[in-house]
Amino acid sequence: MGQNTNFDVLIVGSGVAGLTLALHVEEKYRVAIISKETLQGGASWLAQGGIAAVLDENDTKEAHIRDTEVAGAGLCRGDAVRFVVENGPDAANWLINAGVDFTKNENEENYHLTQEGGHSHRRILHSADATGKAVTGALVEQVLAAKNITVLENFYAIDLVTQANKNSQKPMCAGAYVLDVKSNQVRVFCAKNVVLATGGASKSYLYTSNPDGATGDGIAMAWRRGCRIANLEFNQFHPTCLYHPNAKSFLITEALRGEGAVLRLPDGSRFMHRFHKSAELAPRDVVARAIDHEMKRLGSDCLFLDISHKSSKFIKNRFPNVYEQCMQFNIDIVCNPIPIVPAAHYTCGGILVDKRAQTDVLNLYAIGENACTGLHGANRMASNSLLECIVYARAAADAINERIPQTEVPGSIREWDESRVLHSDEEVVISHNWDELRRFMWDYVGIVRTNKRLERAQNRIKLLKTEIQDYYGNYKVNRDLLELRNLVTVSDLIIQCAVKRRESRGLHFTLDYPELSPEAEDSIVTPNNFA
């Protein structure tokens, strides 16, 4: 049965955003981090590229702002972009002081900065080609050493708990129901502040670069408790995921193209120059659509990314992770091109938040990929995501530290009631619905969309939602069911946002509305229980 646990701050998610926030909460406050896997199990650990920040004397913050807004296709919030970029160098220096082993130049005096698509300067601080592992590892070490932080691995947040607030018409977040995955028992966690840092929802799609946990949990939980959601139609498809029957979701970092790798058709010819003046360094949405177009035109299962014209020493030193992973599949990138396909990679929209990461529900914050800050607009520029995680996590921590002394103590939360549900003997329903959902999202709400495809997706999602909700109401919960429940919710929101946008902008491309609207507006969906 349930067991109440009280904290000052409850963080749902253990990626770079959640870890950063935990380390910035004052030590006198009790913090809990819930991770549905291990601390190394999320998308942050897998991030290859780096963190964008103006650290070179030849670069400027104005240039970084301009590049971000150009990539965002007119939909970025100017104040959010400036806020993140201006705090970029400080965020990078905080990571350096936290012990992150970033790659240095050959002279060992300065850090090596690389350039990625959309950036006009070299401004990507990186740790070889496994920056996420280096950053996450350093932060995990500090979190585990902190006396005020409790880490709970293999715990899955089911739903947030809200209560009335005597000083506001808005509901107040008071904690969450959480499944202990190992014991399969549901516990109650009470908290003065709850922070959603659960990552994105790319597992809505059949092909993705993301780990299995990217099921949109934070977005779905926030929606169910009255938070508005924005711009979920902007799903970034990474142009280059490894195409191999045994490679589940291995991403080939954009930094390869930044260092001169070229895209080739099966006959060996290049093609990106026909789609954009920057060729391989065009924004990701342009590159993904170009690859998708050429694959469909030729009927090819994949295209190729080639860096074999570079020296063996350069490739192995600069991209050891990519080299080793490809060698596991007998692909020697020193000699041969890499077979690639586009795959769902990053969720640009999410839970609407202000500049301190506050959502529409009091004492509920959202940071990282599950939040919509306005930084990315209609398309995220490479390596801005880790930067956003750190800047907004620190801003949210500052707000929490200020407000905790005045925060109303939550009332008691009733125990989880599962007296009327059964153990399921029909688990095949979950796997079947999961597969159906991800296939029609790929086919109908993928890189190129139409009104007819979105209409088909709406019809399918309506049936699936009813079936999954009925199943949820009658059987004991487990991780697979909870993830499917969240995925169908977020997929429905993606479709709603896509239907609202009657233009092609950034990552949303529809054949029925190929032109850009004169006015750039967010696609905001509002729940029935919005205060």
Catalytically active residues, by annotation: 284
**CB neighbourhood size of 311 (10 A):** 9
> CA-CA distance, 298 to 287, in Å (whole number)?
16
**Neighbouring residues of 531: CB distance < 8 A, sequence distance ≥ 6:** 169, 170, 171, 226, 360, 361
Quick check: 416 and 177 in contact, CB under 8 A? yes
Place of tokens 């990571």: 95
- Amino acid found at 55: L
The first and second tokens of residue 406, run together, are: 């005045």
Quick check: 227 and 360 in contact, CB under 8 A? yes
- CA dihedral over 373, 378, 381, 383, signed as positive or negative: positive
Of 433, 496, 502, whose CA–CA distance to 465 is shortest?
433
The first and second tokens of residue 488, run together, are: 């169908």
> CA-CA distance, 270 to 388, in Å (whole number)?
34
Quick check: 389 and 91 in contact, CB under 8 A? no
> CA-CA distance, 284 to 305, in Å (whole number)?
14
Place of tokens 């004397």: 57
Q: DSSP string spanning 113-147?
A: EE--TT-SS--EE-STT-HHHHHHHHHHHHHHH-T
Q: DSSP string spanning 248-307?
A: SS-B--THHHHTT-EEE-TTS-B-GGGT-TTGGGS-HHHHHHHHHHHHHHHT-S-EEEE-
> CA-CA distance, 524 to 348, in Å (whole number)?
13
> CA-CA distance, 510 to 444, in Å (whole number)?
11
The first and second tokens of residue 450, run together, are: 């139409």
3-state SS class at 321: helix
> CA-CA distance, 141 to 134, in Å (whole number)?
11
